[in-house]
């Protein structure tokens, strides 16, 4: 079995995964959404302090598995340095005290393997990763051959939902609440600009759309406080445009490359409007296999870290405790 730890942002999680069957024997996650909600986003220092409390609590429940462990895996990048440090320190301590090898896991690759929790992997697969930190199209050939073919030059898809929610005073994380508000709104009431519409490049940008929402809110507030219906309508128009941007760029990609298998991963892959629009796009391009992670494994978790760690274990991909490097890198995959 492998014990895996995730602490790259605001979720403290530990999993135990069986190496020969991929079976998930234990998974527990303690989220910090409530604590960060008042700030409208994750406060790194607070997140680190909460990991210090949560991780040992979860680890206590893992003790019965200690005797069967073959390796310790931990997310080492990308993420917030101060929070990654908490998981990495715990992993190093476990590796030393239990005399087990250490596996260093890339969080983004972990999201990709969320597709294969308790399953065999199915590769190659072109993957759209949409999370709070990333918006990327990744061509995944194998565990060690993954290529980013499109990414965002500023904010990410999930982050733009968080920012819009913050502007409307809806708390954090923004994705689920903006999606819920959108369902009650008129998606045609306001015209918002689809980012990079004229650009031939396969790249994303969300800062302009975020600013357009900010300007719209200021304009509406000139006539008095926003009504509940105004908020519903703003969310609906924003969500429609944010998804339209992704679909437009994916269309460009599909015209160049005709993938037969496609996947959506990351916290924001839970977005129902995005899922529906991608489904339509795949049908139009005769791509008949869409892989999705179970909803509970779309957001950050340790089960996906354990699942990819099984593959790394089989390839003897271990690191010495002095080799784990959590410093931010230009090359993220
Ligand atoms: O993957 P994740 O848990 O953390 C990162 O690695 O960033 O993703 C969290 C992000 C947040 O920005 C959150 O607002 C967004 O995913 N999210 C959504 C939805 N559910 C979560 N965004 C849009 N629609 C949703 N339904
Ligand atoms: Zn993530």
Q: Is the CB of 299 under 6 A from ligand 1?
A: yes
- Looking at residue 301, its pLDDT comes to 98
Q: Is the CB of 317 under 6 A from ligand 1?
A: no
Q: Is the CB of 266 under 6 A from ligand 1?
A: yes
Q: Is the CB of 268 under 6 A from ligand 1?
A: yes
CA of 308 to the centre of ligand 1 (A): 21
Q: Is the CB of 300 under 6 A from ligand 1?
A: yes
Residues measured by CB to lie within 5 Å of ligand 2, the ion = 131, 300
- Looking at residue 93, its pLDDT comes to 97
Which of 136, 175, 245, 301 to mutate for ligand 1's pocket (most ligand atoms within 8 Å of CB)? 175
Burial 270-307 (b: 16+ CB within 10 A, else e): bbebbeebbeebbeebebeebbbbeeebbbbbbbbbbb
In angstroms, rounded to a whole number, what is the distance separating the alpha carbons of residues 228 and 170? Answer: 11
- Looking at residue 149, its pLDDT comes to 96
Confidence of residue 41 (pLDDT cuts 50, 70, 90): confident
| 154-206 pLDDT, tens digit each | 999 999 999 999 999 999 899 999 999 999 999 999 999 999 999 999 999 99
Chain centre distance of CA 258: 25
Residue with the smallest CA separation from ligand 1 atom 11 is 132
- Looking at residue 290, its pLDDT comes to 96
| 300-330 pLDDT, tens digit each | 999 999 999 999 999 999 999 999 888 877 7
Q: Is the CB of 130 under 6 A from ligand 1?
A: no
- Per the document, the length of the chain is 333
Q: Is the CB of 161 under 6 A from ligand 1?
A: yes
- Looking at residue 32, its pLDDT comes to 95
Q: Is the CB of 185 under 6 A from ligand 1?
A: no
In angstroms, rounded to a whole number, what is the distance separating the alpha carbons of residues 310 and 30? Answer: 23
Burial 194-204 (b: 16+ CB within 10 A, else e): bbbeeeeebbb
Q: HSE (CB half, 13 Å, CA atoms) of 163?
A: 21
**Atom number of ligand 1 nearest to Cα 134:** 7
Confidence of residue 332 (pLDDT cuts 50, 70, 90): confident
CATH classification number, 125-292, choose in 3.40.50.300, 3.30.420.40, 3.30.450.20, 3.40.50.920? 3.30.420.40
Confidence of residue 129 (pLDDT cuts 50, 70, 90): very high
Fold topology of 2-117+297-314: Nucleotidyltransferase; domain 5 (3.30.420)
- Looking at residue 328, its pLDDT comes to 77
Instruction: Give residue limits of the domains in the chain.
Output: 2-117+297-314, 125-292
| 156-170 pLDDT, tens digit each | 999 999 999 999 999
In this chain, the answer to whether the domains covering 2-117+297-314 and 125-292 adopt an identical fold is yes
- Looking at residue 333, its pLDDT comes to 80
**Atom number of ligand 1 nearest to Cα 165:** 14
CA of 220 to the centre of ligand 2 (A): 34
Q: Is the CB of 9 under 6 A from ligand 1?
A: yes
Task: Kindly tell me if the per-residue pLDDT of 40 is higher than 90.
Answer: no
| 76-122 pLDDT, tens digit each | 999 999 999 999 999 999 999 999 999 999 999 999 999 999 999 99
Share of the chain above pLDDT 90, in %: 93
Q: Which ligand is nearest to the CA of 180?
A: 1
Residue 126 three-state SS: strand
| 234-265 pLDDT, tens digit each | 999 999 999 999 999 999 999 999 999 999 99
- Looking at residue 250, its pLDDT comes to 98
| Residue of 285, 200, 204 whose CA lies nearest to 246 | 204
- Looking at residue 291, its pLDDT comes to 97
Query: What is the pLDDT of the chain when averaged over all its residues?
Result: 96
Number of Cβ atoms within 10 Å of the Cβ of 155: 22
Q: Which ligand is nearest to the CA of 11?
A: 1
Omega of the bond prior to 124 within 30 degrees of 0, cis?
yes
Q: Is the CB of 40 under 6 A from ligand 1?
A: no
């Amino acid at each position: 079995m492998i014990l895996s730890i995730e602490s790259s942002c605001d979720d403290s999680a530990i999993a135990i995964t069986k190496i020969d069957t991929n079976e998930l024997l234990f998974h527990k996650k303690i989220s910090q959404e409530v604590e960060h909600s008042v700030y409208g986003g994750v406060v790194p220092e607070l997140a680190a302090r909460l990991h210090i409390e949560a991780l040992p609590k979860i680890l206590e429940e893992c003790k019965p598995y200690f005797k069967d462990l073959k390796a310790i895996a931990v997310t080492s990048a990308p993420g917030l340095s101060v929070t990654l440090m908490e998981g990495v320190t715990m992993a190093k301590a476990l590796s030393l005290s239990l005399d087990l090898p250490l596996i260093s896991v890339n969080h983004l690759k972990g999201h990709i393997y969320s597709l294969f929790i308790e399953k065999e992997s199915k590769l190659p697969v072109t993957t759209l990763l949409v999370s709070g930190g990333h918006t990327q199209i990744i061509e995944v050939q194998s565990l060690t051959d993954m290529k980013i073919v499109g990414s965002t030059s500023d904010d990410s898809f999930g982050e733009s939902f968080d920012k819009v929610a913050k502007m409307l005073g809806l708390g954090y994380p923004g994705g689920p609440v903006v999606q819920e508000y959108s369902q009650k709104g008129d998606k045609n009431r306001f015209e918002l600009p689809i980012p990079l519409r004229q650009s031939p490049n396969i790249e994303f940008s969300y800062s302009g759309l975020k600013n357009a929402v900010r300007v719209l809110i200021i304009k509406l507030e000139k006539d008095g406080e926003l009504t509940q219906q105004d908020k519903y309508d703003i969310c609906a128009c924003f969500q429609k445009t944010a998804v339209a941007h992704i679909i437009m760029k994916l269309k460009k990609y599909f015209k160049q490359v005709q993938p037969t298998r496609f996947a959506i991963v990351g916290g924001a892959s839970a977005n129902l409007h995005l899922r529906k629009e991608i489904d339509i796009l795949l049908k139009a391009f005769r791509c008949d296999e869409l892989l999705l992670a179970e909803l509970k494994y779309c957001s950050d978790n340790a089960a996906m870290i354990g699942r990819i760690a099984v593959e790394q274990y089989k390839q003897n991909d271990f690191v010495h405790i002095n080799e784990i490097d959590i410093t931010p890198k230009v090359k993220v995959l």
